[in-house]
């Protein structure tokens, strides 16, 4: 006998189960398990009486269609992160910590799109219309033809959007939206999921681009079900450190462009202004060459970006030495320390290690390995690296150096900013970069010997 065909799935993480329970074993959320109602065509041969789906029209991959027309805000940093402009019918999620500047960014974006003739509606579920208007005034954008509403009722919002048919709708924020057919409080997993689903479906159905603002949890994820990230076409994170004025808009997923693209902004008294040369900005606080400071020539998305890494190494007063990292991966730091110890015989036991990426930037590229190692050694030995030198390259567990991608672009950017030499793994392709001395090495021991005369 066939088993019961009922299946249940978790609204938060999507895990599926064959029986209902109050708590999801997958993600630990309560009250998220729901019955899945299948719509299969029925068993293949025998009981053909059941209603079947209609057959689909299949097409070829090759097509005559032009790529989707994109609308431009004129804010170059934003347009680039979107993959070259806003695609019609796309759903975009913009996540970030409270107070980081999401509403400011999106109000500016709304105003710019509207001024470029894109019909734009901005729905705020967090602020009253008067507050949004005051902000627009402060940003000098009060004359932009943006239509405004302060509302949280999803049904009313969808009805309005359906009647108005804007080209762009901004929903600030998805956590405040409330669907009256879902019985739980706004901000709950089911509400966020339902609202995102309705709004994404609306975008697909009508061709309106929808931008959803999402708050981020302490763990750095967009609050609410992870399925929301799968539902939308593009996920952008707006990040930055509270104490710094830099803000970075980063695409972590984009169905219409490269992921990992960044746009750099500066928060000023009159809103966010674009930073067209981020390397200059990230290096602006750099003083005289000092021990522990190294300039890393990185690539963010399609663009080279130079950032300063700072390390401090000091004898530890604690029985367990501290490892503190800001802007980089702490697991990766542990790995570099282990490789330095095992392959080059340079121990860090009993020493506190602090590593900081200057300017509030976050780096995830493995090519930063060599720059981190250089900063750590420079701090430990109290020796500054040669002046006007950039460093990049990946370190493998064996202590070998692996060439990084786009060596040439990194060198060009370094040269543009007045650097005269670079330390990199051998084997990287670097044609056409004259004017910068390239010092290549194949392993970490060689690097330590050459730069610090030890090893």
Q: Is 99 annotated as a binding residue?
A: yes
Cβ at position 215, least distance to Mg ion in Å: 8
With CB cut-offs between 5 and 8 Å by kind, which of ligand TYD, Mg ion, none does residue 435 bind? Answer: none
With CB cut-offs between 5 and 8 Å by kind, which of Mg ion, ligand TYD, none does residue 100 bind? Answer: ligand TYD
Q: Is 429 annotated as a binding residue?
A: no
With CB cut-offs between 5 and 8 Å by kind, which of Mg ion, ligand TYD, none does residue 120 bind? Answer: none
Does residue 188 touch Mg ion according to CB under 5 A? no
Cβ at position 151, least distance to Mg ion in Å: 15
CB nearer ligand TYD, residue 267 or residue 400: 267
- Strands 262-268 and 271-274, by their bridges, are antiparallel
Does residue 124 touch Mg ion according to CB under 5 A? no
Q: Is 96 annotated as a binding residue?
A: yes
Cβ at position 271, least distance to ligand TYD in Å: 4
CB nearer ligand TYD, residue 126 or residue 260: 126
The 52-91 contact track toward Mg ion, x by CB under 5 A, reads: ----------------------------------------
Q: Is 97 annotated as a binding residue?
A: yes
- Taking CB under 5 A as the criterion, the residue among 71, 103, 108, 406 binding Mg ion is 103
- Tell me the backbone φ, ψ of residue 442, rounded to 5 degrees: -105, -20
Cβ at position 234, least distance to ligand TYD in Å: 18
CB nearer ligand TYD, residue 117 or residue 140: 140
CB nearer Mg ion, residue 103 or residue 175: 103
Instruction: State the Cα–Cα distance between residues 25 and 287, nearest whole angstrom.
Output: 53
User: Side-chain half-sphere of 449: how many Cα atoms within 13 Å?
Assistant: 9
CB nearer ligand TYD, residue 175 or residue 406: 175
Instruction: State the Cα–Cα distance between residues 124 and 176, nearest whole angstrom.
Output: 9
The order of strands in the sheet holding 421-425 is 323-326, 351-357, 303-315, 293-300, 389-391, 421-425, 437-441
CB nearer Mg ion, residue 82 or residue 174: 174
CB nearer ligand TYD, residue 96 or residue 166: 96
Give contact residues for ligand TYD (rule: CB under 6 A). Answer: 96, 98-104, 135, 138-139, 267, 269-271
Instruction: State the Cα–Cα distance between residues 378 and 376, nearest whole angstrom.
Output: 5
Burial status of residue 107 (CB atoms within 10 A of its CB: 0-12, 13-18, 19 or more) = buried
Q: Is 382 annotated as a binding residue?
A: no
Q: Is 100 annotated as a binding residue?
A: yes
With CB cut-offs between 5 and 8 Å by kind, which of ligand TYD, Mg ion, none does residue 101 bind? Answer: ligand TYD
CB nearer Mg ion, residue 103 or residue 293: 103
Q: Is 299 annotated as a binding residue?
A: no
Tokens of 179: 């669907």
Cβ at position 399, least distance to Mg ion in Å: 47
Cβ neighbours of residue 409 closer than 8 Å, sequence gap 6 or more: 299, 304
With CB cut-offs between 5 and 8 Å by kind, which of Mg ion, ligand TYD, none does residue 95 bind? Answer: none
With CB cut-offs between 5 and 8 Å by kind, which of ligand TYD, Mg ion, none does residue 269 bind? Answer: ligand TYD
CB nearer ligand TYD, residue 96 or residue 224: 96
- Tell me the backbone φ, ψ of residue 115, rounded to 5 degrees: -65, -25
Q: Is 284 annotated as a binding residue?
A: no
With CB cut-offs between 5 and 8 Å by kind, which of Mg ion, ligand TYD, none does residue 383 bind? Answer: none
Cβ at position 82, least distance to ligand TYD in Å: 18
- Strands 91-96 and 234-239, by their bridges, are parallel
CB nearer ligand TYD, residue 194 or residue 272: 272
**Cα-based distances in Å from 280 to 96, 276, 284, 305, 388:** 25, 9, 6, 9, 14
Cβ at position 93, least distance to ligand TYD in Å: 14
Cβ at position 95, least distance to ligand TYD in Å: 10
Tokens of 146: 């943006």
Cβ at position 245, least distance to ligand TYD in Å: 8
- Tell me the backbone φ, ψ of residue 46, rounded to 5 degrees: -65, -70
Cβ at position 111, least distance to ligand TYD in Å: 12
Per rule CB under 5 A, count of chain residues that contact Mg ion: 1
Using alpha carbons only, how large is the chain's radius of gyration in Å? 26
> Residue numbers of the site for Mg ion (CB under 5 A)?
103
Annotated binding site for ATP: 96-103
């Amino acid at each position: 006998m066939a088993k019961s065909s009922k299946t249940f799935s978790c609204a938060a993480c999507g895990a599926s189960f064959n029986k209902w329970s109050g708590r999801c074993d997958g993600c630990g959320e309560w009250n998220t398990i729901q019955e899945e109602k299948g719509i299969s065509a029925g068993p293949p041969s025998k009981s053909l009486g059941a209603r079947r789906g209609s057959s689909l029209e299949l097409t070829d991959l090759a097509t005559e269609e032009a790529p989707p027309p994109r609308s431009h805000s004129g804010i170059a940093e934003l347009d680039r992160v979107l993959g070259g402009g806003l695609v019609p019918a796309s759903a975009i999620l913009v996540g970030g910590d409270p107070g980081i500047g999401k509403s400011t960014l999106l109000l500016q974006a709304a105003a710019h799109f509207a001024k470029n003739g894109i019909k734009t509606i901005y729905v705020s579920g967090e602020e009253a219309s008067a507050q949004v208007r005051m902000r627009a005034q402060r940003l000098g954008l009060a004359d932009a033809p943006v239509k405004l509403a302060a509302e949280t009722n999803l049904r009313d919002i969808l009805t309005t959007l359906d009647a108005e048919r804007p080209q762009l709708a901004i929903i600030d924020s998805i956590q405040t939206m409330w669907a009256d057919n879902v019985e739980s409080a706004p901000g709950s997993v089911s509400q966020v999921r339902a609202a995102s689903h309705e709004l994404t479906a609306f975008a697909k159905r009508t061709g309106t681009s929808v931008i959803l603002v999402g708050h981020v949890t302490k763990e750095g994820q967009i609050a609410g079900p992870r399925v929301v990230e799968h539902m939308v076409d593009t996920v952008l994170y707006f990040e930055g450190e509270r104490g710094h004025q830099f803000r970075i808009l980063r695409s972590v997923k984009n169905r219409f462009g490269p992921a990992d693209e960044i746009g750099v902004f500066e928060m000023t008294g009159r809103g966010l202004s674009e930073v067209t040369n981020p390397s200059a900005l990230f290096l602006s606080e750099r003083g005289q060459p000092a021990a522990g400071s190294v300039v890393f020539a990185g690539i963010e998305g399609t663009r080279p970006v130079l950032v300063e890494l700072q390390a401090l190494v000091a004898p530890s007063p604690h029985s367990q030495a501290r490892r503190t990292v800001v802007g980089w991966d702490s697991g990766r730091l542990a790995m570099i320390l282990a490789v330095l110890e095992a392959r080059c015989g340079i121990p860090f036991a009993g020493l506190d290690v602090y590593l900081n990426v200057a300017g509030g930037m976050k780096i995830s590229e493995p090519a930063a390995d060599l720059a981190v190692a250089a900063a750590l050694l420079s701090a430990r030995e109290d020796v500054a690296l040669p002046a006007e030198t950039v460093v990049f390259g990946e370190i493998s567990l064996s202590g070998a150096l692996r060439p990084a991608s786009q060596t040439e672009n990194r060198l060009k950017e370094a040269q543009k900013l007045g650097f005269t030499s670079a330390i990199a793994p051998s084997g990287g392709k670097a044609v056409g970069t004259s004017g910068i001395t390239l010092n290549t090495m194949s392993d970490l021991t060689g690097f330590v010997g050459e730069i610090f005369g030890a090893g």
